[in-house]
Structure 1
Amino acid sequence: MKKNLFLMTLTMLSQFLSTVVIFILLARIWEVEVYGEFMFLYVFGNILSVVIDYGYSLKLVKDFSRITDTDMQKKYFNEALYSKVYILVGITIAFIVSIVIMDLTIESTIAFAYIYFSFVFNSFAQFFLLPFRAGKDMKVESVTTMVCNIGFIISLMALVVFNKSILAVTFLFMLAKLIFLVVSFIVQKKYYDFDYKYSFTQHNEYIRQIASNFPYSIQLIISVLYFQVDTLIIGGFLNHYEVGIYQSSMRIVSGLLTISAIFSNAYLPYISKITNEKISETNFKYTSVMVICGAVIGLVQYVFGEYLITFLYGNDYKEAGIILRLLSIMVFVRYIGVSYSVILTVMDKQYLRAIAVSAALLTNVLLNVILVPNFGLIGAVTASILTNIILLIIYYSMARVHLRREVGYN
């Protein structure tokens, strides 16, 4: 567990650098409105891409941790790979339709395409590395991800010295993730003897794989929606400037939530292997750690929120200070809920997580539609806090019931 935690820390730290530090850099070189337009397209692309991910970061890791037969692993991975390809075709059609509906400028359309394909390449790159996370070679995933992300950061810092346009930046996003995909494929091929050939006779198996993974995918899709939909609503009711201010805070929040993601990704393969008798004890310890981490991080965020905004982004984003301080409540709540969501996954109650986040999404959309037009960004923050509290209550209740029923937790 400690080794997994260390390696996952390296992986997530490199992802933190590429998904938080880079956006801070872009915010400082662009005007708020330009940054807001970019983030609106980025969030939209992220929502589309999470469908392509289709929950394999949960299900494949959990299943591979339990499959010891090499032939079964080969078969499982082949089916998972082409189920993703099937999904990619459908989502790409949806992407094309969304471009037509949004009626973007030519420049924004090209930038959106670059962003979308960068997410596609990144999804498959991470997918090729998932077997390492599930097995005993998490170091391979950590090193590969870290090297590619650091290379991306250095390349972007060099690019913006000469060209700061959205098209140049988004093209580099796409190119960097394509390189990440190629490297990940080569690395996997070196360590695993998987079958990458498509077989039409396996068509029904690919479809079955999609169906069996649906509870995992729908939970992640809706989770991303309820965490990101507020940005789309802000863009619809307000403007790109407000999106820029709001997303400057949310980028920091994403960074602060990295620690919870590190623990979650390292904890899942570990707890998937332990006996039922130890699950409740292990989860209690894990929950305690998450509560302490969330409290400390939330307190620091609240006290130093305004300073962090001006230090990282500059005075143009000063309005985001109060937003970041208020979001400290949401960060604390999310840390508490991590362990209960993992427990539901381990106990094969993913459909319950899907129900929970569906309720959270509906709540979030309703609250944002009511509050954002009337209270602006403060309304969006309020909606986010209330939604996460509701989700925590649901997760806690579900996990407690099933722990008591299946492992005798009291």
Structure 2
Amino acid sequence: MGLMWRLVPRDDIGQMIKKLNILSSIFLRGGGAIFALFLQIWIVKNYGGDNYGKYVLFLTVCSLLLIFSKSGVEVNVLKNTAINISNNKNTDGLLISGLVFVLITSVVVVSGVIYFDGLFGFYIADKKFGAINIWACVFFQCGYYVYLGWLRGARKFLKADFLEMLVKNVLLFLVLYLAVFFGWGDNLISFFVVSLLLFLVSVFLSSKVSIGKLDKSEFVMVGSKYFDFLILGVTGFVFFQLDTLILGAYLSDFEVGAYNMVCNFVRLIIFVPMVVASQMQPNAAAYYAQGDYKKLTKIFVRALGVGVSSAVLAYLFLCIYGSNILGMVNEKYSFAVDVIYYLGAAHLVNSIVLITSSVLVVINKSRLAMLAQLVSGGVVFALYLLLIPIYGMVGAAISVFVGLIMVLFLYFASYLNGVRSAFRLPKV
């Protein structure tokens, strides 16, 4: 065996290992995505359509708090970890700085929001206990995402994918199973338990990290462009989660649950593009830091080819079998099949947006992505208010489609006007 490895050129061995890691990551993320999808189906069948809708609305509000608390920190940790590793520098300080940063932001965000009863009043009997519980949920979730960013920046993709795609979903299943078994229906407590366990597993997987003195420069680094990332996060929320909250005001909990189930299936369209983007990001950050724009452009174009072609195949599959799939989840969900056509088309466009944006944020072009998504997010919000009251779920899907087309148009318009982006980089 040792002789075989010596006979193979080192460059070939490196390429073999790299390809094996990518394939392993795809299978791991694929298995996790399938498990997550079946978990959502299990929740519908065991909690019922109405309770599933309430569960979805609760998680949507929690997601909004996470956006304000971790705004871009995990991306900054990923980016700077990749750069430090390429320069043979220690990365532990970046992880610690990221955790301290989200500790502070989560306290500020939850303190500012908790007294607005419209968001969490339904779930909180005791405000003081509820505030502490929600803060703990938000901090542990933020810490988990910081760990993911650090692992991916260190090119520990398998660990990160194992944590995100399998551990997270298994823990969620176990907690919800126990909740059903014992008749325990508090979504807030369940979310707290899952968040705590996720954070503890993250710490265990990174147990070799040494805790030293907090470096002020690294702390500033992981929190840089907080408001730029916040705008990106909020506009992302407008595109893919605000529709759920607005639908909740016009439709029944059962219909909201049906819409979210459609969202779960159409996310399969962007599964491979998301894997490709996460694998590409650390390399893109390193190539940009080294000034190797030729390699950066090459991996970007290759990622687009792989991501978009897989998205097209997934979309065609859902268009053909979507009605049957929804009927298997719940026989009454088949009425939402039209949403698959429009929302699926939106995610086809999103496959391009995802890969492009993942490059923009690591080559210091996050402001371009921010402006494009901010303008488009405003249009989507207006369309929600206009179309959802009339067309319901289909109106929401059409709004998302139009908004994502606009994002791509603005990226392309910026290119034509000479704005440097992932498509136009400085000459080598």
**TM-score (normalised: structure 2):** 0.82
| 1:384-403 map, 5 Å | 384-398=400-414, 401-403=419-421
| 1:213-224 map, 5 Å | 213-224=226-237
Shift of 1:65: 0.8
| Cα pair 2:258 2:333 within 8 Å, conserved | yes
Alpha-carbon spacing, 1:270–1:7, altered in 2? closer, same or farther (3 Å): farther
| Cα pair 1:326 1:381 within 8 Å, conserved | yes
Alpha-carbon spacing, 1:261–1:33, altered in 2? closer, same or farther (3 Å): same
- C-alpha separation between the residues in 1 aligned to 2:169 and 2:245? 30
Range moving further from structure 2, 282-291 or 358-367: 282-291
The answer to whether the aligner puts 1:345 opposite 2:361 as a matched pair is yes
1:166 to 169, 176, 185: 185
Alpha-carbon spacing, 1:142–1:226, altered in 2? closer, same or farther (3 Å): closer
Deviations along 1:88-110, one digit per CA (max 9) or x if unpaired, are: 11121234123356652657999
- C-alpha separation between the residues in 2 aligned to 1:108 and 1:376? 35
Alpha-carbon spacing, 1:21–1:194, altered in 2? closer, same or farther (3 Å): farther
Deviations along 1:202-244, one digit per CA (max 9) or x if unpaired, are: 5x97467534443234323321332111111111233323312
Alpha-carbon spacing, 1:377–1:111, altered in 2? closer, same or farther (3 Å): farther
Range moving further from structure 2, 289-298 or 22-31: 22-31
Greater helix content: 1
2:105 to 87, 95, 104: 87
Q: Which residue of 2 aligns with 1:362?
A: 378
Alpha-carbon spacing, 1:397–1:344, altered in 2? closer, same or farther (3 Å): farther
RMSD in angstroms over aligned alpha carbons?
Answer: 3.2
Alpha-carbon spacing, 1:356–1:273, altered in 2? closer, same or farther (3 Å): same
Q: Which residue of 1 aligns with 2:61?
A: 44
| Cα pair 1:61 1:131 within 8 Å, conserved | yes
The answer to whether the aligner puts 1:148 opposite 2:167 as a matched pair is yes
Amino acid at match of 1:301: L
Q: Which residue of 2 aligns with 1:128?
A: 147
| Cα pair 1:124 1:181 within 8 Å, conserved | yes
Shift of 1:21: 2.8
Shift of 1:361: 1.5
- C-alpha separation between the residues in 1 aligned to 2:313 and 2:286? 30
Alpha-carbon spacing, 1:146–1:230, altered in 2? closer, same or farther (3 Å): closer
The answer to whether the aligner puts 1:333 opposite 2:346 as a matched pair is no
Instruction: Indicate the SS of the match to 1:230.
Output: helix
- C-alpha separation between the residues in 1 aligned to 2:221 and 2:79? 18
Deviations along 1:276-301, one digit per CA (max 9) or x if unpaired, are: 12222332222111221111111111
The answer to whether the aligner puts 1:99 opposite 2:117 as a matched pair is yes
Shift of 1:249: 0.8
What 5-or-longer segments of structure 1 have no aligned partner? none
Q: Which residue of 2 aligns with 1:406?
A: 425
Between the two structures, name the one with larger relative contact order (CA 8 Å, sep ≥ 6): 1
Deviations along 1:46-82, one digit per CA (max 9) or x if unpaired, are: 1111222221332221211111467763443333222
Shift of 1:27: 1.2
2:248 to 235, 246, 250: 235
| Cα pair 1:371 1:380 within 8 Å, conserved | yes
Q: Which residue of 1 aligns with 2:29?
A: 12
Amino acid at match of 2:378: L
Alpha-carbon spacing, 1:295–1:18, altered in 2? closer, same or farther (3 Å): closer
Range moving further from structure 2, 234-243 or 349-358: 234-243
Deviations along 1:11-52, one digit per CA (max 9) or x if unpaired, are: 534653564332221112233222212211111111111222
Q: Which residue of 2 aligns with 1:324?
A: 340
The answer to whether the aligner puts 1:28 opposite 2:41 as a matched pair is no
| Cα pair 1:10 1:142 within 8 Å, conserved | no
| Cα pair 2:147 2:202 within 8 Å, conserved | yes
- C-alpha separation between the residues in 1 aligned to 2:120 and 2:148? 34
Range moving further from structure 2, 325-334 or 99-108: 99-108
Alpha-carbon spacing, 1:382–1:38, altered in 2? closer, same or farther (3 Å): same
Instruction: Indicate the SS of the match to 2:83.
Output: coil
**TM-score (normalised: structure 1):** 0.86
| Cα pair 1:277 1:407 within 8 Å, conserved | no
Alpha-carbon spacing, 1:16–1:98, altered in 2? closer, same or farther (3 Å): farther
Q: Which residue of 1 aligns with 2:7?
A: none
The answer to whether the aligner puts 1:279 opposite 2:292 as a matched pair is no
| Cα pair 2:172 2:194 within 8 Å, conserved | no
| Cα pair 1:156 1:172 within 8 Å, conserved | yes
Shift of 1:371: 0.6
| 1:373-388 map, 5 Å | 373-388=389-404
- C-alpha separation between the residues in 2 aligned to 1:367 and 1:113? 37
Range moving further from structure 2, 298-307 or 92-101: 92-101
| Cα pair 1:47 1:225 within 8 Å, conserved | no
Q: Which residue of 2 aligns with 1:183?
A: 201
| Cα pair 2:273 2:308 within 8 Å, conserved | no
Q: Which residue of 2 aligns with 1:66?
A: 83
Alpha-carbon spacing, 1:153–1:44, altered in 2? closer, same or farther (3 Å): closer
Instruction: Indicate the SS of the match to 1:347.
Output: coil
| Cα pair 2:269 2:314 within 8 Å, conserved | yes
Shift of 1:399: 5.7
Alpha-carbon spacing, 1:206–1:65, altered in 2? closer, same or farther (3 Å): closer
Q: Which residue of 2 aligns with 1:315?
A: 331
1:301 to 305, 318, 325: 318
What 5-or-longer segments of structure 2 have no aligned partner? 1-17
Identity %: 17
